[in-house]
Structure 1
């Protein structure tokens, strides 16, 4: 085997399953099995609800939870991550379904999955660490609001208006509700919410959402309520097939696929990062994760879901949290969760088809209210004005416009505020010459640059230094300059040239070794009157400046 071939196989081996993934399985298989069963029960109503809410249908949500959940469990980079349809994906997918129809969703899942795989292979998995906390939480709050508003048609027993802005669609659905249907559906929503809250408070070990849906379904059957139901579900897993690929369809789906891939990558990595810091019932951490492998695993999960007629999938933080808290240690737990859902498809699809849509709407409304804690919101709002502004701005744009646009604007706003704060920490100070003063020292100005000289601060520093008067020599100290970019170095060139044109000799002191290549390449050294006007010690620079002043005085005589 050639060296290149060996290195190539080694590069891709980090994305593949290995025996190390199941090192602790002999000790933890019981807790993994129990955790998988628990998560499977919790995931059932969520998978159905997200499928319905996206417009693809309950069956697609269930298929996605099974297929994508199993593939991501085996191929993903987190030992405890549980994947499937999520609320954030529903928010992006619903408008696409409204415009292009449900038939394009499998192809969209394949396209987005391939893109996510490429992100993982290219090593961009760690980029999620650069997303600021206020942007993440603002994004999450906006998603929670959208998920809640999307359930208004289900809660009021109306059909809803696909493709409309979520807020406007919720208002129109509420205004179009008619009695007695709306009274019955709202009663079920309230009942589901009450059961979930009580079970979560009094019987934490029980699956609150499943019990709530079961009770709502039993009540609807006993009372023979005339309200919308899930409808027929498949009693087996569909056969895999490659979606029909039409070149014209590919073009129209390109941008939605990019948005879905971007969202899937962010949500999966954020979920895996949170899960890595969580502890199980025994107090032990859930374990580290591989960001790049997580992306390739999630990408393959979406591709597999698309082949079975499902929708794009991501890591699901709520189900992952249940998995960890139930004692999951290895990937077996997430795999068991998929098998449990598969068993429900083959054994109980008829019963599930009678579940009222309002019950699923109630489950998602409660889920949405739990996505962001009050403590988190209060902590961000009390932090700094800029962080609070980024948080609120991201949340509002998420609800009003688009998720991807919200992240882009949130990142831009966070970067702007950060640069502004960074620039405020940069300053230029005029110093007195230390030691005994000599005649002519009043014609020497010593400037110390602090902090950073980059594109956000260079112009202000340039103006401050250029305003000096009655000075023959200017010493610019750079030893305290922690950061220097090309714009800052170019500003130094402009400062030196402006002072030299006024007859002021410029001396540079203390160029840091890590800045020397930059200042040389940009032309800072070349702009000095003489290459010997670059000093390491301040005393030597001051003595050289005094010699210039004495020489100028001698010329005047």
Structure 2
């Protein structure tokens, strides 16, 4: 029964729309607004990925509807994104555009399985500097990917965006580059100035409409999107065979990881922007997995939650899933009613839209905040960004997390320490032969060696008392270090007493050998006074009381 309830929580319910009577007007307006904003992005991301404008549009429609209905966020808007384009580019270059639908299907299954396995909360462990470094790297790659189109040149053969952008300079025809650069500058200027005229004016749509009208009426010789289908393609199972699945398994896993990370980050940010209700991370993965599967059946791309479009949705008044569904229906209307006009859009105009989008992905204030936080966080931020641009997105996230963990452990190790204390109460003869040590903070693999070095160098004592009552964290390595410390001291003839092993550490201390390494089980104490009394009696028996 509990399993049934758990699965039900991952499925749509009437509760998803309980506020619809109150919010439907705002949802309709928000959906229309996001649809207008999403159109140029869907086309641009499709072209930039190598899969084609049609693929981007299909993804925004099909995945947008499926993710809105099945996802875990009330306001998430899904579709093709810049980060996904960055990953898909090398896949298209290596396996052809036909591989995109297969990768979408395989990645969707992986993301769906992750949601069913309740792995949604894993993204909460990704540090903020890693997220921002990852985002900055993606923004740089998206910008660099548009350089060839902005110059009217052919992209280089390299799968690295920076190298390909540099290689494209060798194919520039300056007679064409003058027009394409002019289009990019015009688009960027309109997108920047439009909100100043009216804050809700969709700058990207206005910019594309203006330059398309000029280039079409003026007969300007620049590459355009070209013919688009006047209807959605019929769903079909992508060509699957074992060899194809094996060759695309690695790329699909990378795409799935990116889809999960980006979607959950977007949903988390959206939940903090307005009172739109909480999001269910596991259900969001299920919804995004189903969205990519559906997109693959229609020949589309893998989908993720899109933070920019989601933010527009929330700011425009979207409060329920209806807004994201309307956004997809607006794009569907474009397919059936306006493909002739859309086919005339210059590719340079889409490049301009993406270049402006890339520059807006990471704010200057955010970069300053990260760089001005701590040296460790700034290093993680820069390393993640550089590796994202230079190598691979998922590798960058992995290395960023490892670097952040390293710095966190190093910082944590500094909070741990071992201090020698004076014995409590009035001094007694022979106290100089008793050493009392207090272990503070965290005793784990990053700090254990320092403990052993500090205590084992002590001389001229007969008894060592180790206080563990102030120990906040203990792992197996730390516990083993204590056991080895006790064994080393006992071999030198020094009696070791342990005081204050906390209840939460008792099982670990016993299993690793801390208790067993003591000379006698009675050498484990809960009260410091009793331990000190035993130490003094031991010193007295050893004949040091008068020394």
Tell me the TM-score normalized by structure 1.
0.97
* 1:486 and 2:476 are equivalent in the alignment: yes
Q: Residue 98 of structure 1 contacts residue 163 of structure 1 at CA under 8 Å; is this kept in 2?
A: no
Q: Is the 8 A contact 1:48 1:62 kept in 2?
A: yes
Q: Is the 8 A contact 2:156 2:163 kept in 1?
A: no
Which residue does 2:311 correspond to in 1? 321
Cα shift at 1:467: 0.7
Tell me the equivalent position of 1:3.
Answer: none
- The structure 2 residue matched to 1:54, chosen from 49, 53, 62, is 49
8 Å CA contact 1:158–1:173 kept in 2: the answer is yes
- The equivalent residue for 2:103 is 108
Task: Pick from 83, 97, 104 the counterpart of residue 78 of structure 2.
Answer: 83
**Structure 1 residue 10: Cα displacement:** 1.5
Q: 1:453: which partner in 2?
A: 443
2:129 and 2:381 in contact (8 A); partners too: yes
Correspondence 1:345 to 2:353: no
Q: Is the 8 A contact 1:94 1:162 kept in 2?
A: no
Matched, 1:236 2:231: yes
- Structure 1 residue 21 displacement after superposition: 0.1
- Runs of 4+ residues deviating >6 angstroms: 554-557
Partner of 2:177: 182
Counterpart secondary structure, 2:11? coil
> CA offsets, 1:132-178, max 9 Å, x none?
00000000000000000000011011221355311011111133211
Name the CA distance, whole Å, in 2 between partners of 1:211 and 1:126. 40
Task: State whether residues 499 and 524 of structure 2, in contact with CA within 8 Å, keep that contact through their aligned partners in structure 1.
Answer: yes
Q: Kindly provide the CA deviation profile for residues 179-228 of structure 1, in whole angstroms up to 9, marking residues without a partner as x.
A: 21000000000000000000123311111111111111011112211011
Unaligned regions of 5+ residues in structure 2, if any? none
TM-score relative to the length of structure 2: 0.99
The Cα shift of 1:48 comes to 0.1
Aligned-residue offset at 1:502: 0.5
Name the structure 2 match of 1:540. 530
For residues 155 and 555 of structure 1, the distance between their equivalents in structure 2, rounded to whole angstroms, comes to 89
- Distance in 1 between the 2:115 and 2:452 partners? 43
In the alignment, is the contact (CA less than 8 A) between 2:429 and 2:546 conserved in 1?
no
Q: Please, which of 105, 120, 126 is the counterpart of residue 125 of structure 1? A: 120
Contact 1:66/1:342, CA 8 A, preserved across alignment: yes
Corresponding residue for 1:296?
286
Cα distance in 2 between the residues matched to 1:483 and 1:169: 50
Residue 227 of structure 1 is matched in structure 2 by 222
Q: 1:389 to 1:555 in 2, by over 3 A?
A: closer
The corresponding residue for 1:379 is 369
The correspondence for 1:305, drawn from 295, 307, 316, is 295
Residue 383 of structure 2: aligned partner = 393
- Structure 1 distance, partners of 2:343, 2:158, is 26
Match of 2:270 in 1: 275
State the alpha-carbon separation in 1 of the partners of residues 24 and 8 from structure 2: 26
Question: 1:182, 1:392 → 2: CA distance?
Answer: 33
Q: 2:68 maps to what in 1?
A: 73
Shift of 1:286: 2.3
Residues 70 and 554 of structure 1: CA distance in aligned 2, closer, same or farther (over 3 Å): closer
What's 1:282 paired with? Answer: none
| Aligned residues of 1:113 and 1:298 also touching (Cα < 8 A) | yes
State whether structure 2 residue 151 is matched by structure 1 residue 156. Answer: yes
The CA RMSD over aligned residues, in Å, is 1.2
CA contact (8 A) 1:83 1:316 kept: yes
**In the alignment, is the contact (CA less than 8 A) between 1:39 and 1:337 conserved in 2?**
yes
CA contact (8 A) 1:69 1:84 kept: yes
Alignment correspondent of 2:324: 334
Where does residue 493 of structure 2 map in the other structure?
A: 503
Offset at residue 263 of structure 1 (A): 0.3
Give the match's secondary structure for 1:236: coil
Distance 2:277 2:201 in 1: 25
5+ residue gaps, structure 1: 1-5, 280-284
Does the aligned pair in 1 maintain the 2:154–2:171 contact within 8 Å? no
Q: Identify which of 433, 452, 460 aligns with 1:443.
A: 433
The Cα offsets for residues 44-69 of structure 1, whole Å up to 9 and x where unpaired, read as 00000000000000000000000000
Cα deviations across residues 235-266 of structure 1 (Å, max 9, x unaligned)?
00001011111211111101100000000000
Alpha-carbon separation, structure 2, partners of 1:469 and 1:329: 70
Match of 1:97 in 2: 92
Structure 1 Cα separation of the partners of residues 9 and 203 of structure 2: 38
What is the match of residue 552 of structure 1?
542
Partner residue of 1:213? 208
2:136 aligns with 141
- Partner of 1:180, secondary structure, is helix
Q: Residue 520 of structure 2 corresponds to which residue in structure 1?
A: 530
1:495-534, CA deviations, whole angstroms, 9 ceiling, x for partnerless residues?
0000000000000001111001110111110100000001
Q: Structure 1 residue 23 and structure 2 residue 18: aligned?
A: yes
Whole-angstrom CA distance in 2 between matches of 1:525 and 1:93: 56
* Cα distance between partner residues in 1 of 2:525 and 2:391: 56
Q: Is 1:358 aligned with 2:348? A: yes
Match of 1:518 among 508, 514, 529: 508
Looking at structure 1, the residues matched to 122 and 537 of structure 2 have their Cα atoms a distance apart, in angstroms, of: 53
Q: Which moved more, 1:41-50 or 1:245-254?
A: 245-254
- What SS does the aligned partner of 1:526 have? coil
- Using the alignment, how far apart are the partners of 2:127 and 2:394 within structure 1? 15
